[in-house]
Structure 1
Amino acid sequence: MVFLSVSKNRLQEVESSLSECSQLEKVFLDSNFIRFLPSSLGKLRHLSVLRLDCNKLLVVNPSLTFVSSLVRLWLPLTEMTMLPPELCYLTNLRELKLDNVPLKSPPTEVLLGGCQNVLSYLSRLQTGKEANQINLSGFSLLSVPFEVTYLSNLTRLVLDNNRLKTLWPITPTPHPTERDKAIIIGGGKLAYRHFGTPKGRTLHWEEPPDPLRLVGPYDDLATPAIDRYPVHFLGNLVNLQYLSAKDNLISELPAKCFPRWQTCLRELFLDNNQISILPFEMHTLDMLQSFTINGNNLKHPPVDFQTEGFPTL
């Protein structure tokens, strides 16, 4: 059997035994009441078309990313709020439908770029998780993606050539939940988690015992004091050593971030923006070694600072 259609059958779950039909190439599960997918879907190594539209789907099981043959994935009219970064491993995907999905991530401006743009964005998020470095240049971003603030181990963040007006992330409405955070960073019972090996990825995922709740221990994750700082705040990146936001429309800098970066930030590049004032808090950047701000209309600090450079700040 190479084709299976169980559309409009009021299904509430997908049986894990579906993986036994290993020759399936097309599976239509649309117009049901499915909320979660079994990890066994990752064993359908010949699958090229998967329809999941018009379901109550809350999250894509990352095991699906082992189906490297997948070309078309339809997810319209589902209830997903986040796409897991692991979807970037679907390197043969050419059609990703996401119409009428209440996504908070990726940002709308990324989604408008189509399937390959979405995969590129997810790939860079995944790199941030694995290598602690993210380059989000050239996505026409209007604001810093809030999900970046979840990656507290980031050491390098590049935001060049976008349309940013500020470095304050904008928290979407409704506000992200613990499930949303878990989909981005993984870990524990809060989300599906991949177990890697020195030889690469293996088909083994840990599923939450109660996927309808997706709750579990979260103590190992850095959480800012809500009464002092916003939840989505670049200052949460307390290991950040390199920040570049050149060629944007930035007019103000997040002053509250600088004291948080006092002992980590070493390189800061803000060329070709619309910055007129450098906040006083920048003097706390004790470790700063390289700083450029060419192509701005600085009014404060005065000209002598701009001539002598950042050590005079």
Structure 2
Amino acid sequence: MKILVTGNAGFIGFHTAKLLLERGDSVVGYDNVNDYYDTRLKEARLQILQDTAQQSGAEYTFYRHDIADQQAVEKCFAEHRFDCIIHLAAQAGVRYSLENPRAYIDSNVIGTFNIMEGARQQKVKHLLMASTSSIYGANDTMPYAETHKADTQMSFYAATKKANEAMAHAYAHLHGVPTTMFRFFTVYGPWGRPDMALFKFTKNILEGKPIDIYNHGQMWRDFTYVEDLARGILLLLETAPPAPGESRTSAIEGDSLSPVAPYRIINIGNSDKVRLLDFVEAIEAHIGQKAKRNYMDMQPGDVPATWADASLLQRLTGYCPETSFRQGVGRFVDWYRGFYNQ
């Protein structure tokens, strides 16, 4: 297949594009390589993708542009016809959305609209788009299921992702674009983002600096290992939601399939919640050094717990993420030490 992967210089996009190239798919990557965090990390990921394509013999093309740039997006679609699109480009981060909310409108709303327009015009077989567990907001019924109401977002980042879900459903209904939204839970692993807890904790512990632990450690997260997540995305490529009127005879328990559109929402998580302090202890154990802990209050826009019901993913694909957080933390620490020569 020829697949457009937006955000392929980013953490999740890099791992997803790499798996696609390794299996021989033709990949077109699209990323503006912005300076939200150290661009050297993004450039290193891009080099690995180039090397992977050469080793596998897969076709790989990269566009260094912003998805909010309508003309650049239209040029990409004019030069390629895509079977599927995996839209992962976004302005990420709950906390940064307090500082620069306009960046989230530009990337997550306008940029996503530009990608949806390309998908509509080319009538792609399947549009897969990233959402987030932050969508569930103040909902305290856990584990979170795709069919739960998600109307109480607590950060502007989550609000823009909720807008993406609504926009995608409208396009699926109006234009028949088969669309799968996946809600990611706390993703971590090698090549992770420097603004995420695991990266910051590892860096500061190795450097003997204190780490900030919010809500005095009373936080729980459904930590999802990045390669598990990427494998789930690849399996979902082959599971486009059927349109109303098509055969829907094999009803799936707990399905989030829309009654009026070829549209489905799927959680991708580890189906377990881990206490933040246990996560910190796993980092300390692998590094072999105790952290200097700075306990703090909850930050605005944050939530105390996330926990996925990922049974729909398993029913649809036969797959569920399985890497334990201790295994995943160890792999990240090993990668970090190797990449930064520590």
Work out whether the TM-score is over 0.5: no
TM-score, normalised to structure 2's length?
0.25
Higher helix proportion (structure 1 or 2): 2
Identify which of structures 1 and 2 has the higher relative contact order when contacts are C-alpha pairs closer than 8 Å and 6+ apart.
Answer: 2
TM-score, normalised to structure 1's length?
0.26
